[in-house]
Amino acid sequence: MSFTILGTGSALPAKTVTNDDMAKLVETSDEWIRTRTGIRERHVITDESVTEITFTAAQRALEMSGVSPQELDYIICPTVGGDWISPSLACMIQERLGATCPAVDVNAACSGFLYGLDYADGIFARKRAKYVLVAAAEGLSRLLNWKDRSTCVLFGDGAGAAVLGEGDSLRYLHLTAKGSLALHVPHAPGESPFETNEQPPHGLVMDGREIYRFAVSTITAELRRASEETGIPFEKVDHVLLHQANQRIMDAASKKLHLPPEKVPSSIARTANTSAASVPILLDQEARLGHLHRGDILMLCAFGAGLTSGTAVLEWTRD
Amino acid sequence: MANSETLARLEKIISEYKDDLEPGTLTPETTFESLDFDSLDIVDMMMACEDEFGVEIPEDAQLKTVQDLLNLIDKTEE
């Protein structure tokens, strides 16, 4: 026994920052950002908290699923960091929802939602749960180097959630990891009087070329593997939901796999890269637009810092 | 492998990214800048060359002209 997705939800902070707004902060332009990434705007946290946007996304997912917070048996929050290093974001969400179940964060960067689904799969397999909430969220705007024009334009904040119930929708799930600092976020500096390690400067650092290459080759290899292992050819796949890092990555991988653009939806123009939250935000977008139908086959694939990746094949069971 | 044959195969790869590339116009001296390639186009092309020629092109390869790429392909194919 594994799971089926009963409901999805998402939430973005209120403030929108356009590419023109970004051009006032660093030397860039709308044209430069759009042609290289497909991004037009991103949402960033102002006076909200990561906990609040995650709570809203979770509430929306619970509402769609018809499951009450008290019925949840586990809460998993994929994130590189909520509002606190400790307690976890998941514990904050548990408290806000009024749930009483165990709660834990999972950090697999942009692949976090897929890692979260894998852990949920294990919890269902051990018959420890009837309902699990996987609520992914990021406040990456807090972790960026806002003077680095090559990275600060790429990311946004947001949350995406899914309520899972017992079922057999999951056909395949495969995770990878390969330790590397090609994309990394340094820890906040501490104040230990004893530590002599050099403190790295604040802010996310990325080797764009290496990550681009990793992303395109990972998507193509992992989706081919998923198709082979499940025996489902790409023609029979209805929707391919890719981590929203860069439209160019999605286009290059789609071209290699001969996937028609209508099967590869995108939300990057309005969200930018929301790390772990990107796949569930896109999933919720597609569900609420009425694009997903009962029996549709979905392939999800995410990749990111770690370097990690996660790929899943599942059947959509909502009308 | 003769340079002209490699060049022809390379032109075929590049024409997949640039629809307006006239056949036979690519020369070893052609710069990627003149083809309007940005940094991601170059990575795409490097990956396509790896598939086409079965070679490994280093991550940090500095490619300005078609000849730079031809050198790398020939070097790793030997």
User: B17-29, pLDDT tens digit by residue?
Assistant: 777 777 778 888 8
List the alpha helices (DSSP H) in chain A. Answer: 19-25, 30-37, 50-65, 89-97, 112-125, 208-230, 247-257, 268-271, 278-288
Same domain, A198 and A132: no
Q: A176 near A308, Cβ under 8 Å?
A: yes
Provide the pLDDT confidence category of residue B76 given band limits of 50, 70 and 90. Answer: low
Q: Which of A35, A209, A217 has the CB atom closest to B59's CB atom?
A: A209
Residues in CB range of A175: below 8 A, 6 or more apart:
A108, A111, A114, A115, A118, A308, A309, A310, A311
Q: B62 to chain A: nearest residue by CA?
A: A209
Domain of A281, CATH number, reads 3.40.47.10
Same domain, A74 and A196: no
Same domain, A163 and A304: no
- Which of A148, A168, A188 is at the close of a domain? A168
Predicted local distance difference test score (pLDDT) of residue B78 = 53
Distance (Å, whole) CA A89 – CA A77: 7
pLDDT at B75 over 80: no
> B18: exposed, middle or buried (C-beta count within 10 Å: 0-12, 13-18, 19+)?
middle
| Three-state DSSP state, A313 | strand
Q: B38 to chain A: nearest residue by CA?
A: A36
B47 touches A at CB < 8 Å: yes
- Which of A143, A168, A193 is at the close of a domain? A168
Predicted local distance difference test score (pLDDT) of residue B52 = 84
Same domain, A184 and A298: yes
Nearest 5°: CA angle at A211, between A207 and A217? 155
Same domain, A46 and A67: yes
Contact at CB, A252 and B59, closer than 8 angstroms: no
Two structure tokens written together for B54: 């079965």
Per-residue b or e along A188-203, where b marks 16 or more CB atoms closer than 10 Å to that residue's CB = eeeeeeeeeeeeeeeb
Same domain, A204 and A236: yes
Residue A290 β-bridge partners: none
Same domain, A55 and A186: no
Q: Please report the DSSP string for chain B in residue order.
A: --HHHHHHHHHHHHHHH-TT--TT---TT-BTTTTT--HHHHHHHHHHHHHHH-----TT----BHHHHHHHHHHHH-
Percentage of chain B lying above the pLDDT 90 cut: 0
What's the distance, CA B8 to chain centroid?
A: 10
Rounded to the nearest 5°, which phi and psi values hold at A8? -130, 160
A217 touches B at CB < 8 Å: yes
Q: Which of B38, B46, B59 has the CB atom closest to A36's CB atom?
A: B38
Q: A1 near A58, Cβ under 8 Å?
A: no
Same domain, A181 and A254: yes
B52 touches A at CB < 8 Å: no
Going residue by residue through chain A (319 aa), what tens digit of pLDDT does each one get? 799 999 999 999 999 999 999 999 998 999 999 988 999 999 999 999 999 999 999 999 999 999 999 999 999 999 999 999 999 999 999 999 999 999 999 999 999 999 999 999 999 999 999 999 999 999 999 999 999 998 999 999 999 999 999 999 999 999 999 999 999 999 887 889 998 888 888 999 998 888 998 999 999 999 999 999 999 999 999 999 999 999 999 998 998 899 999 999 999 999 999 999 999 999 999 999 999 999 999 999 999 999 999 999 999 999 8
Please, what's the largest Cα pairwise distance for chain A? 60
Distance (Å, whole) CA A132 – CA A138: 20
Same domain, A155 and A267: no
Same domain, A254 and A295: yes
Structural domain harbouring A109: 2-168
The verdict on whether omega for the bond into residue A307 sits within 30 degrees of 0, i.e. cis, is yes
Same domain, A215 and A251: yes
Distance (Å, whole) CA A311 – CA A309: 7
Tell me how many domains chain A contains: 2
Q: A307 near A174, Cβ under 8 Å?
A: no
- Which of A150, A168, A186 is at the close of a domain? A168
Q: A13 near A48, Cβ under 8 Å?
A: yes
How close does chain B come to A17, measured CA to CA in Å? 24
Contact at CB, B44 and A216, closer than 8 angstroms: yes
Distance (Å, whole) CA A112 – CA A202: 23
Predicted local distance difference test score (pLDDT) of residue B1 = 47
Rounded to the nearest 5°, which phi and psi values hold at A148? -95, 100
| Three-state DSSP state, A26 | coil
Same domain, A159 and A180: no
| Inter-CA distances, A200 with A53, A141, A184, B68, Å | 29, 18, 11, 36
Q: Which of A209, A217, A252 has the CB atom closest to B39's CB atom?
A: A209
Residues in CB range of A121: below 8 A, 6 or more apart:
A2, A3, A170, A173
Provide the pLDDT confidence category of residue B2 given band limits of 50, 70 and 90. Answer: low
The mean per-residue pLDDT over the stretch B55-73 comes to 83
Supply the residues of A annotated as catalytic. Answer: 110, 243, 273
